[in-house]
């Protein structure tokens, strides 16, 4: 007789507190039972400490259990409220993987040193079988007070989980998922094949150190074990790299959604970034980091880049587009900060404050009005009349300045501002000239010797845009010759990578020259605003496919998706791609629920929402359409 091989039996041993649920149930019970007790906070703290000590393996488990029951002073009537609280605190990855819990119910055992009275109602609601729940039971007195627990239960004792496992004598592979040391003890005793430290809710050093694998969510566990999961790819496997000291709020926003985030204080140079980018899916930079072709050649996983600033000249946007990498920026979050600094600098320079302050520090008292002027009534020339230029126009006019501007494109003049037809016209008219163009390559040396020559003698000159826009040696000469009476420079052709690097520049040491380390947009307000704004854009793209506000991609704002799959197809902008997508879908009789197409320059972006059921082969066919750059399936 031929023996039919049976699928190897697997058991999944899952902990309850801080694993199945986000919280420790005994802490929650204390919050309920100690209501009105004047020492509630102190007692709760003590209960929590005892829990932590036991979870880390620092005190014996039975001692911890008795101490907590004594401290709780709980009653049977508190349990319904506790169950209601816990049912709202099931761990997110367990909630979204109900299908797995149901499908594998026969193989899943909850083994907990908590109590059946509250565990069973919570876990059975997600498909776990009540007979597969192993936990302690409370002891009540005649009045319903909780006074202890069944001390004979192995789970009430030290090394209780291994003891129970020995009794169960499971035949097959055993996988343990838990956040506590007592979960690891099963593996330590040789009773499990693997121990997975579950870190979605808490991270315990000693537990992580002993784990075979760290699983930041149930998704990761299911992924590594090739089990059916609600997400095709666990989010913790999506790596976000944030450079240049981006505000920590950004990290928080990505971590809240389960992504793995790495922060670097300074910028990385091309070679360093080309190395680091290999496993990165989302890159966050500021003005310093150059995202070049060479970097992008290694960026095989990169989906999107966020410039946590306004300027995007540091990113090779075209090369990103060709590789289907979507770029975003924060177009308005630091506008006001730049404007305020420019206004302050104009006043400081017109009043010779830099020199006067330096003298005071040396003990020199130089009270005089010579060479000091009000800004009121002076002619301000704005080169570049975009978001910063126009905002500065309004504020400067409110301070009594006469505003002139020059922009490559026709712009609406705000207030009484007057448009100059040429740059030369502006240079010849104005008392104060400030640059607010973007940093496109063509703007290199926009202001050089000839342009300084055209300016009025004694002009005040500001550059808060990009370093390469000004020919620095020409500015140095103009300052030395007295053509420029004062200058403020915030941006430089070469800027130090980190705060530890020396600033080397010909402008150092010149009189009435105010130098700042590229801080036009560096205010607490601006940085926090940026850190809230850019992750929103990146997450909207990753989670929903939205490209609205992208600086290099067709902009599509998509509706939310319910009970459907979303296919994201990025391709070279050649005729016939949409027709090919739809003919493949028609061949597989897939119903299209919605479809959106937009193109920009060389790239086309098609989103197709389809019914839930689809044949997996269709994905391969869609990926194989000629000129496809990237394909991704959502939900």
Ligand X SMILES: O=C(O)C(=O)COP(=O)(O)O
Ligand Y SMILES: NC(=O)C1=CN([C@@H]2O[C@H](COP(=O)(O)OP(=O)(O)OC[C@H]3O[C@@H](n4cnc5c(N)ncnc54)[C@H](O)[C@@H]3O)[C@@H](O)[C@H]2O)C=CC1
Does the protein bind ligand X through residue 389 (CB under 6 A)? no
Q: Tell which residue, 324, 304, 300, 329, has the closest CA to residue 314.
A: 329
With CB under 5 to 8 Å by kind, the binding choice for 446 among ligand Y, ligand X, none is ligand Y
Identity of the residue, 239 or 286, whose beta carbon is nearer to ligand X in the bound complex: 286
Q: Which is nearer to ligand X, 101 or 243 (CB)?
A: 243
Closer residue to ligand Y (CB): 155 or 338: 338
Tell me the CA distances in angstroms from 180 to 109, 175, 214, 253, one per residue in order: 16, 15, 12, 27
469: buried, middle or exposed (CB in 10 Å: 19+, 13-18, 0-12)?
Answer: buried
Q: CB–CB of 634/619 below 8 Å?
A: no
443 binds, among ligand X, ligand Y, none (CB under 5 to 8 A by kind): ligand Y
Q: Is 489 in the site for ligand X (CB under 6 A)?
A: no
Q: Is 388 in the site for ligand Y (CB under 6 A)?
A: yes
Tell me, yes or no, if 502 is annotated catalytic: no
Please say whether the beta carbons of 202 and 48 come within 8 A. no
Shortest Cβ 312–ligand X spacing (Å)? 8
The Cα diameter of the chain in Å comes to 112
C-alpha count within 13 angstroms, C-beta hemisphere, residue 158: 7
E strand or H helix at 62, and its extent? helix 61-72
Closest listed residue to residue 489, CA positions, set 458, 455, 465, 511: 465
CB of 513 vs ligand X, minimal distance in Å = 20
Catalytic residue among 78, 436, 466, 565: 466
Residue 544 touches which of ligand X, ligand Y, none (CB < 5 to 8 A by kind)? none
Pick the stretch among 119-127, 177-185, 307-315, 605-613 that binds ligand X (CB under 6 A). Answer: 307-315
- The answer to whether 385 contacts ligand Y (rule: CB under 6 A) is yes
618 φ, ψ (degrees, to nearest 5): -60, -30
**What residues form DSSP beta bridges with 535?**
none
Q: Which of residues 152-211 bind ligand X (CB under 6 A)?
A: none
Q: How many CA within 13 A on the CB side of residue 358?
A: 10
The item of ligand X, ligand Y, none sharing an interface with residue 286, based on CB under 5 to 8 Å by kind, is ligand X
Name the residue with tokens 């063509």.
Answer: 442
Q: 244 catalytic, yes or no?
A: no
Q: Which stretch binds ligand X (CB under 6 A): 122-130, 153-161, 166-174, 303-311?
A: 303-311
CA distance 541 to 501: 36
Q: Which is nearer to ligand Y, 292 or 387 (CB)?
A: 387
CB-based contacts of 222: which residues, under 8 Å, 6+ apart?
97, 100, 228, 229, 234
Angle (nearest 5°) at CA 72 between 67 and 73: 115
Computed over its alpha carbons, how large is the radius of gyration of the chain?
Answer: 32
Q: In 3D, which of 569, 587, 580 has the Cα closest to residue 628?
A: 569
As beta bridge partners, residue 595 has: 608
Size of the site for ligand Y (CB under 6 A): 30
Q: Measure the CA–CA gap between 559 and 546, rounded to whole angstroms.
A: 9
One character per residue 297-336, x = contact with ligand Y (rule: CB under 6 A):
-------------xx----------------------xx-
Q: Out of 290, 387, 445, 532, which residue is the one contacting ligand Y (CB under 6 A)?
A: 387
Q: Which is nearer to ligand X, 447 or 581 (CB)?
A: 447
Show the site string, 430-469: x = touches ligand Y by CB under 6 A, - = not. Answer: ------xxxx---x--x-----------------xxx---
- What is the x/- site pattern for ligand X, positions 499-528, by CB under 6 A? -------------------x--xx------
Site string for ligand X, 248-287 (x = CB under 6 A): --------------------------------------xx
**466: annotated active-site residue:** yes
Interface pick for ligand X out of 309, 474, 485, 531 (rule CB under 6 A): 309
Look at strands 592-600 and 564-572 and give their pairing: unpaired
Q: Give residues in contact with ligand Y (CB under 6 A).
A: 310-311, 334-335, 338, 383-389, 406-409, 436-439, 443, 446, 464-466, 490-491, 518, 520-521
Positions marked active-site:
466, 495, 518
């Amino acid at each position: 007789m031929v023996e039919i091989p049976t699928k190897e039996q697997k058991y999944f041993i899952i902990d309850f507190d801080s694993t199945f649920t986000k919280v420790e149930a005994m802490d929650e019970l204390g919050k309920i039972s100690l209501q009105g007790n004047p020492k509630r906070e102190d007692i709760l703290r003590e209960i929590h400490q005892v829990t932590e000590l036991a979870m880390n393996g620092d005190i014996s488990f039975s001692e911890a259990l008795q101490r907590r029951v004594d401290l709780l002073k709980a009653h049977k009537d508190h349990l319904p409220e506790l169950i209601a609280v816990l049912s709202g605190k099931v761990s997110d990855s367990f909630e979204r993987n109900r299908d797995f819990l149901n499908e594998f119910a026969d193989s899943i055992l909850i083994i907990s040193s908590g109590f059946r009275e509250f565990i069973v109602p919570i876990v059975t609601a997600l498909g776990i079988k009540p007979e597969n729940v192993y936990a302690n039971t409370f002891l009540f007195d005649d009045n319903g007070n909780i006074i202890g627990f069944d001390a004979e239960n192995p789970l009430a004792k030290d090394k209780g989980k291994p003891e129970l496992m020995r009794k169960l004598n499971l035949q097959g592979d055993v996988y343990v998922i838990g956040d506590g040391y007592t979960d690891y003890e099963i593996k330590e005793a040789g009773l499990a094949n693997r121990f997975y430290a579950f870190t979605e809710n808490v991270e315990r050093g000693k537990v992580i150190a002993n784990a075979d694998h760290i699983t930041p969510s149930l998704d990761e566990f299911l992924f590594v074990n090739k089990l059916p999961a609600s997400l095709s790819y666990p989010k913790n496997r999506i790596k976000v790299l944030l450079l240049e000291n981006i505000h920590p709020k950004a990290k928080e926003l990505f971590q809240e959604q389960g992504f793995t985030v790495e922060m670097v204080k300074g910028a990385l140079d091309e070679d360093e970034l080309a190395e680091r980018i290999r496993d990165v899916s989302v890159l966050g930079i500021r003005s310093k980091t150059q995202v070049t072709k060479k970097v992008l050649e290694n960026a095989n996983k990169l989906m999107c880049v966020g410039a946590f600033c306004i300027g995007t000249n540091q990113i090779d946007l075209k090369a990103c587009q060709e590789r289907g990498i979507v770029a975003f920026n924060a177009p308005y979050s630091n506008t006001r900060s730049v404007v305020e600094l420019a206004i302050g600098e104009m006043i400081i320079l017109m009043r010779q404050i830099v020199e006067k302050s330096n003298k005071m520090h040396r003990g020199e008292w130089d009270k005089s009005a010579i060479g000091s002027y009000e800004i009121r009534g002076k002619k301000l020339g704005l080169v570049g009349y975009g978001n910063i230029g126009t905002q500065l126009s309004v504020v400067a006019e409110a301070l009594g300045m006469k505003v002139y501007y020059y922009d490559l494109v026709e712009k609406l003049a705000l207030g009484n501002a007057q448009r100059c037809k040429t740059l030369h016209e502006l240079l010849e008219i104005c008392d104060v000239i400030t640059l607010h163009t973007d940093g496109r390559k063509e703007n290199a040396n926009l202001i050089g010797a000839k342009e300084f020559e055209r300016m009025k003698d004694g002009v005040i000159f500001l550059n808060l845009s990009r370093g390469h826009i000004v020919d620095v040696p020409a500015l140095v000469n103009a300052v030395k010759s007295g053509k420029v009476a004062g200058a403020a420079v915030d941006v430089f052709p070469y800027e130090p990578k980190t705060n530890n690097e020396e600033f080397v520049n010909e402008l150092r040491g010149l009189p009435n020259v105010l130098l700042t380390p590229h801080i036009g947009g560096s205010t607490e307000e601006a940085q926090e605003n940026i850190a809230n704004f850019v992750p929103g854009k990146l997450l909207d793209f990753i989670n929903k496919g939205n490209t609205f506000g992208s600086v290099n991609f067709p902009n599509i704002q998509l509706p939310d998706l319910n009970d459907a799959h979303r296919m994201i197809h990025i391709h070279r902008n050649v005729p016939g791609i949409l027709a090919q997508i739809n003919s493949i879908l028609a061949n597989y009789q897939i119903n299209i629920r919605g479809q959106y197409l937009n193109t920009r320059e060389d790239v086309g972006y098609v989103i197709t929402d389809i019914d839930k059921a689809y044949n997996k082969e269709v994905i391969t066919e869609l990926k194989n359409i000629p000129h496809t750059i990237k394909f991704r399936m959502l939900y």
